[in-house]
Amino acid sequence: MIQVIQYLLLRVWRNPPVPMRILILLGAILLYGTTGFVYFELSENPEVRWADGLWYTMVTMTTVGYGDFFPKTPGGRFLVGWPVMAFGIGLLGYALSVIAVTLVTVKSREIRGMSSFELKDHLVIFNFPGLAKVESILEELFLDPAFGNFTPVVLVDELLEELPAELQKRGLHYVRGNPVRDQTLTRADIDHARHAVILCRNPRDPASDTLNIAIVLAIEGRNRNTTTVVECVDPASEELFRKAGCDKIVCTSRFDAYFLSQELLNPGVQEVIGDLLSARGGQQIYFVKVSREASFGELAQVCREKQHLALGVSASGKIRLNVPEATVVRAGDSLITTGPSRIPML
């Protein structure tokens, strides 16, 4: 107890924080103005009350000046009115400047990635390969109702000095730090994140996979319930990502080869695939859960009624396209469909 008192005397009494200084000065001015107004004006106006003195002091400090109460005696005018006006306006300006500086500091810390966040069911994007790529990913996600326009997004990067203005307008949060360290993951609140997208810092450098594997291990060590989707440069690294516990892997170099070869053999395939993958319009590919056992033909008929085309079945991690109509689709499997919008469970 004695140590606590000594701490308060040394830290608080000798060097009080700015908010405490403002409150003390504000209380002193209100007390001085209220008591002074009542003391000098009570002889001229016997109906003056303490509440009237407090009201006069507050109105004078804020420079409002309603005029319903004003001093009539010389003492009330020069010994109370003048000091309250001078010191009140000065204190009010000082308080407003402190608030403005605090707000600017908080905003500056946030856009420079120095803040910590407490969120839930949010998306965490690791690494910043470029503004265009991040914006494209966010546009596609926000266009799908399954993700939602109000899902919080946190960007984690070690090299980005300041969050770009375009991402600030989208309401992104930014955490600057090593994405492998627990301190950085805690600031991004990875323990309560629903999704994590790990991008390649340099899509042309296979060494980016090494960093991404470390990030996956760090995430899985903290929260295995987070759905992790990682971008991979070298196809040989896919097995390492699976062993690390990554849920989905997108190997960009492998798809580049597919696009080039198919565009050569079937000109126009690139536009078709782009339409199926983009949520900006046209047709998209969806995986729709099946609630009860039925044949593929029955489910395909239901899809046609909803202006969807059934392409195949996803069961036990395997994709089968153009299956016979008699194929049995069990409860919990997913039907692969294409259509203008997402449909609920079949």
pLDDT tens digits for range 152-210: 999 999 999 889 989 988 889 999 999 999 999 999 999 999 999 999 988 777 788 88
Quick check: 15 pLDDT over 70? no
Quick check: 122 pLDDT over 90? yes
What are the chain's domains? Answer: 2-111 (1.10.287.70), 122-255 (3.40.50.720), 283-346 (3.30.70.1450)
pLDDT band for position 124 (50/70/90)?
very high
How is 175-243 classified by DSSP, letter by letter? EES-TTSHHHHHHTTGGGEEEEEE--SSTT-TTHHHHHHHHHHHHHHH-TTSEEEEEES-GGGHHHHHH
2 versus 323: the higher-pLDDT residue is 323
d(CA 162, CA 82): 47
From residue 306, alpha-carbon distances to 53, 145, 154, 223, 289 in Å are: 73, 17, 36, 37, 15
> What's the whole-number average pLDDT of the chain?
84
Q: Is 15 helix (H, G, I), strand (E, B) or coil?
A: coil
d(CA 173, CA 85): 43
The fraction of the chain above a pLDDT of 90, given in percent, is 19
The pLDDT of residue 13: 60
What average pLDDT does this structure show over 75-80?
A: 83
| 302, two tokens | 């239901």
The pLDDT of residue 39: 86
Kindly report which listed range (98-102, 145-149, 312-316) carries the lowest average pLDDT score: 145-149
pLDDT tens digits for range 319-345: 888 888 888 888 888 888 888 888 877
pLDDT tens digits for range 231-275: 988 888 888 899 888 889 988 777 777 778 888 888 887 787 777
d(CA 245, CA 222): 12
167 versus 89: the higher-pLDDT residue is 167
pLDDT tens digits for range 211-239: 999 999 999 988 888 999 999 888 888 88
d(CA 326, CA 297): 6
The pLDDT of residue 307: 87
pLDDT tens digits for range 29-46: 889 888 988 888 888 888
